Structure 1
Amino acid sequence: MNKISIGRSGLISTEAVFGTWALGGEYWGPQDHSDSLKAIHAAIRSGVNHFDTAPVYGKGRAEMLIGQQLRKNRADFIIADKCFYREPEAFARSFETSLKRLNTGYIDIFYIHWPVSGADMRPVMELLEKYRKEERIRAVGVSNFSVPQMRHIMEAGTIDIAQFGYNLLWRKEEEELIPFCRENEITTAAYSILAQGILTGKFLQIPKREDFEWRRKLVLFDEDVFPEIRKEIHYLTEIAEKYDLSAAEASILWTKENELIDCSILGCRNRSQADENLKPFSRTLNSSLADELNNLSDRIRPLIPREDNIFRHKT
């Protein structure tokens, strides 16, 4: 599996990042502990060295699981954690709690998870730089930040990696954020590369209100645009089958081979998902397949509503 540098931090990460949101349960429904363990170890066997978690993933359950499973060979892995923006004292308390759950003395990458518009976030950045000097973290990240918000906190420190939603159907960050990252040697990490499951071909209708209410808020599930997306997903499945791929594998391969994206964050709930989602990282993208996927993406792109992020989360 290819490796990439995380900003100027010296950290070397695999292109594939194991995302643990689903392992916490709650948002994605109940999660079997045994399935979680098998997924983590399938990723390790595949060569993944970068694991991404957060205290809000199951009220700390995902953090504890990662801490337990990576403890034995801690130095071999990159653990990324995060905290929503809050005042420095509260932010520091959250950091200390995460250290305990992870059963580690340091966290490799620590993100400010979501920004708050209008807030002076520089004191939190100063805190993270203090942790860096104390070797309690090794790199600083931001998640879901705009370019002005990144410029703001860069007055107080260095951003090594930026995390944002990106996939065949959602490419907003190509306009400003990704070019800014390239200009400033900031590593790009894409999440939701399967569009919360839409690109697997499993969601061919808008979820019912009682099923994953949060998922219904996705921009891609807008009643005005989802019928068009559904047509393209049928086409995606047909394209993928021609190249002996699933729709999910083709979508992951497209993102993995995209020169704008350095790391792809993959959520895997069990061994089967881990094996399927990591398989594209041992393949290359056929030029004909790339053309067909690019055409699909270009057709749908003008129809996607203009929003700050894929979740419509207001900061």
Structure 2
Amino acid sequence: MEYQKLGSSDVSVSRITFGSWAAGGWMWGGTEQNDAVGAIHASYELGVTSIDTAPVYGMGFSEEIVGEAIKSLPRDKVQILTKFGMRWNEAKGDFAMKTKDNNGHDLDVYKYAGRDSIIRECEDSLRRLGTDYIDLYQQHWPDVTTPIDETMEAVSRLIEQGKVRAAGVSNYSVAQMQEAEKTLNLASNQVPYSMLRRDIEADVVPYCLENHKAILVYSPLQLGLLTGKMKPGQEFGAGDLRNGNRFFTPENVKRVNSLLNKIRPLAETKNATLSQLVLRWTLAQPGISVALVGARNPEQAVQNARAMDFQLTFEQVDFINKQLRELAGTAVA
């Protein structure tokens, strides 16, 4: 495993980080707690010491699973990355979405990052996680109803109190990062990125490289599309976020599978799966510090961690990039 320091903070994380969104069940069609705990343990055994979660994943359930998993692990050897600012139990801020909890009950979720709300959220997360500090505390989504300096001042207070080690943001633009930096030194920005979704290369990546900020990318496998296991016309349940997603139209799945077939021989020369090759390519891109990857069971977790068992040469990365450029003319916008 490789490890990366987050910006100028003293927090180092594993470059493959366990993403626990699916473990919380919410928008992924349910979960099985024992499998999720086992997956975290299996990851840890292979050097994946960092776990990314959020209160809104399963309305607290994901954090509880993480808390259960880390009970038997040395706390100082594990990095807990969680978030704040997505409220399903308080109707304040910027309305985000209508959704359902794991029991099928309707919920309204709001982006809200007011000072008092953040302090309460932090206490709730610490309780669910069964710990007295969070290694990286990230604003989940920007909240247009709360001044950024108010949000960052609240996180600063939590750092001063020892409840948070480092501050990060998620889904922030460059302008929003610059505004936040007036109040607080950010360690990182967590953003979506994959072979099929590379828009951050235009601005976020250059800014973070120049200002020594880590970039944590989520959905590097594009919600499973880049595993090579998706079939055109594959159906997903009503609560699954891939249902109706533009990346999963039959025509786009065909295009992506054609790309994957072209790079499959390279994966085979590395004794690697397509998923592992995609993750290795992702971490070879300039500015990309960490790839967040979910797993529902220990077998998937082991496969994810094993993506670090091989290297890609410059020529091999260039070969993949050439295939991506050929896809770009027909890929989904």
The TM-score with structure 2 as length reference comes to: 0.85
Q: Which residue of 2 aligns with 1:136?
A: 163
Q: Which residue of 1 aligns with 2:61?
A: 61
Distance 1:176 1:62 in 2: 32
Per-residue CA deviations over 1:138-185 (Å, capped at 9, x if unaligned) read: 111111111111122222211101111111111111110011111111
Q: Which residue of 1 aligns with 2:228?
A: 201
Contact 2:190/2:217 (8 A) holds in 1: yes
Contact 1:219/1:304 (8 A) holds in 2: no
Determine which of 207, 228, 252 is the counterpart of 2:279: 252
Residue correspondences, number: 306
Per-residue CA deviations over 1:175-222 (Å, capped at 9, x if unaligned) read: 100111111111111111111000111112254364554213544235
Q: Does 1:80 align with 2:81?
A: yes
CA shift for structure 1 position 26: 3.1
Cα distance change on mapping 1:151 and 1:50 into 2, 3 Å = same
Q: Which residue of 2 aligns with 1:312?
A: none
Distance 1:162 1:9 in 2: 13
Moved over 6 A (4+): none
Amino acid at match of 2:83: K
Contact 1:207/1:216 (8 A) holds in 2: no
Please identify, of 131-140 and 90-99, the stretch whose mean Cα deviation from structure 2 is larger.
Answer: 90-99
Please identify, of 33-42 and 101-110, the stretch whose mean Cα deviation from structure 2 is larger.
Answer: 33-42
CA shift for structure 1 position 7: 1.2
Distance 1:210 1:138 in 2: 39
Q: Which residue of 1 aligns with 2:193?
A: 166
Determine which of 218, 223, 235 is the counterpart of 1:191: 218
Per-residue CA deviations over 1:14-59 (Å, capped at 9, x if unaligned) read: 2111111111113222322221122111111001211111111111
Q: Which residue of 1 aligns with 2:324?
A: 297
CA shift for structure 1 position 92: 2.1
Distance 1:48 1:129 in 2: 28
Amino acid at match of 1:142: V
Q: Which residue of 2 aligns with 1:178?
A: 205
Distance 2:36 2:315 in 1: 36
Gaps of 5+ in 1: 307-315
Q: Secondary structure at the match of 1:195?
A: coil
CA shift for structure 1 position 121: 2.2
Please identify, of 122-131 and 296-305, the stretch whose mean Cα deviation from structure 2 is larger.
Answer: 296-305
Q: Does 1:116 align with 2:143?
A: yes
| RMSD of aligned Cα (Å) | 2.1
Amino acid at match of 1:249: Q
Cα distance change on mapping 1:11 and 1:265 into 2, 3 Å = same
Distance 2:39 2:140 in 1: 24
Contact 1:197/1:203 (8 A) holds in 2: yes
Distance 1:101 1:207 in 2: 36
- Structure 1 or 2: larger helix share? 1
Q: Which residue of 2 aligns with 1:241?
A: 268
Distance 1:105 1:244 in 2: 41
Please identify, of 266-275 and 86-95, the stretch whose mean Cα deviation from structure 2 is larger.
Answer: 86-95
Distance 1:82 1:217 in 2: 27
Contact 1:206/1:216 (8 A) holds in 2: no
Amino acid at match of 1:229: V
Contact 1:18/1:48 (8 A) holds in 2: yes
Amino acid at match of 1:56: V
Q: Does 1:16 align with 2:43?
A: no
The TM-score with structure 1 as length reference comes to: 0.89
Contact 2:84/2:118 (8 A) holds in 1: yes
Distance 2:172 2:246 in 1: 18
Per-residue CA deviations over 1:271-314 (Å, capped at 9, x if unaligned) read: 110111111212111445323311122223355566xxxxxxxx
Cα distance change on mapping 1:49 and 1:176 into 2, 3 Å = same
Q: Which residue of 2 aligns with 1:35?
A: 35
Cα distance change on mapping 1:213 and 1:2 into 2, 3 Å = closer
Distance 1:264 1:272 in 2: 18
Contact 2:216/2:289 (8 A) holds in 1: yes
Distance 1:59 1:172 in 2: 30
Contact 2:216/2:290 (8 A) holds in 1: yes
Gaps of 5+ in 2: 86-110
Contact 2:236/2:242 (8 A) holds in 1: no
Q: Which residue of 2 aligns with 1:92?
A: 119
Determine which of 229, 236, 241 is the counterpart of 1:214: 241
Contact 1:128/1:140 (8 A) holds in 2: yes
Contact 1:50/1:78 (8 A) holds in 2: yes
